[in-house]
Amino acid sequence: METLMKRDYQELMGLGREEGRYVCVGLDLNKATIAEKMNIGLPVAEPEDIYAFGKNILEETHSTALEFKPNYPFYASMGAPGIELLQRLISLSKEIDPYRPITVDAKVADIGNTNEQYAEFLFDQLGADAITVHLHHGHEAMAPFLKRSRKGIAVVVRTSNPGAQVNQDRLALVSEKEAKLWDVPRNVSSIRNFEIWTHQVVNDWNVNGNCSIVLGATNAEQLGAAARIASPFSVPLLIPGAGYQGGSVPEFMAELEKADHRLFSINSSRSIIFNPDPGKAVRSLATEISQGLWF
């Protein structure tokens, strides 16, 4: 526990960026896909098979990756053995490369009393360095996460799925007070929900400097809009959706350049972990990202 408490997510991410690392490897270890890839002759892989598969991914990709992001439901779907598996993989990752932080993609959200329990489980029991959260319960409810100043709190504002625009791109009125605080042009009375949420995080939530913004890579325009809001505050971006989901690296890198937003982590999962050569796949993505760098 003492070793875990000394880990600082933002410090580890900063060290990785200094080395030119920008790829987040998503550990979405689908038990059915792994059974197929490993030719084990069963509909789904057993936890020990998944552990071996995950171990190989960690060993093959850690020299290039900035961070790892296990997707919590893939483990929770296996019940108690899956939770134990996730704990073991997090511990193993820290043994293989202690400088690669772990973001558990749990997307949790509830009232404060319940979030205290989430924080204890995800940070203290699993050993996560960072987690993803939804923000709709408000700043007060998220306090149990935000007060963990050595941990990373990645707040989801715009997702990569096709139906995201229904609620996340919906226009909402901006009050006069908000417009002044957020430097919204005087002739603009409404902005999109994801922009409002981004303003809230960078202006109100990030008092401990441990917040980041989660934005899907599949819509470069939206990503660019949020990046322009977050950039002056140096709030990092976690960007899922590169690779299998179709996010175009040149397109979203161009938007990041327009915003001059330099603190980002590009997540790819299936196109790396289910590639016959995951090490080559992560290096290929890293090269594509580096080709779009402007700084």
Residues annotated as catalytic are: 107
What is the phi/psi pair of residue 67, to 5°? -155, 170
Task: Please count the other Cβ atoms lying within 10 Å of the Cβ belonging to residue 108.
Answer: 19
Give the C-alpha separation, 217 to 178, whole Å. Answer: 27
Task: Count how many residues are written for the chain.
Answer: 295
Asked if residues 247 and 275 have their Cβ atoms less than 8 Å apart, the reply is no
Amino acid 13 reads: M
Going by C-alpha positions, the residue among 81, 264, 278, 270 that lies closest to residue 89 is 81
DSSP annotation string for the chain: -HHHHH--HHHHHHHHHHTT--EEEEE---HHHHHHHHT-SSSS--HHHHHHHHHHHHHHHTTT-SEEEEBHHHHHTT-HHHHHHHHHHHHHHHHH-TTS-BEEEEEE---HHHHHHHHIIIIIIS--SEEEE--TT-HHHHHHHHT-TTSEEEEEEE-SSGGGHHHHT-EEE--HHHHHHHT--TT--EEEHHHHHHHHIIIII-TTS-EEEEE-TT-HHHHHHHHHHHGGGT--EEEE-BSTT-B-HHHHHHHHHHHT---EEEEE-HHHHTSSSHHHHHHHHHHHHHHT---
Amino acid 105 reads: D
Give the C-alpha separation, 110 to 113, whole Å. Answer: 8
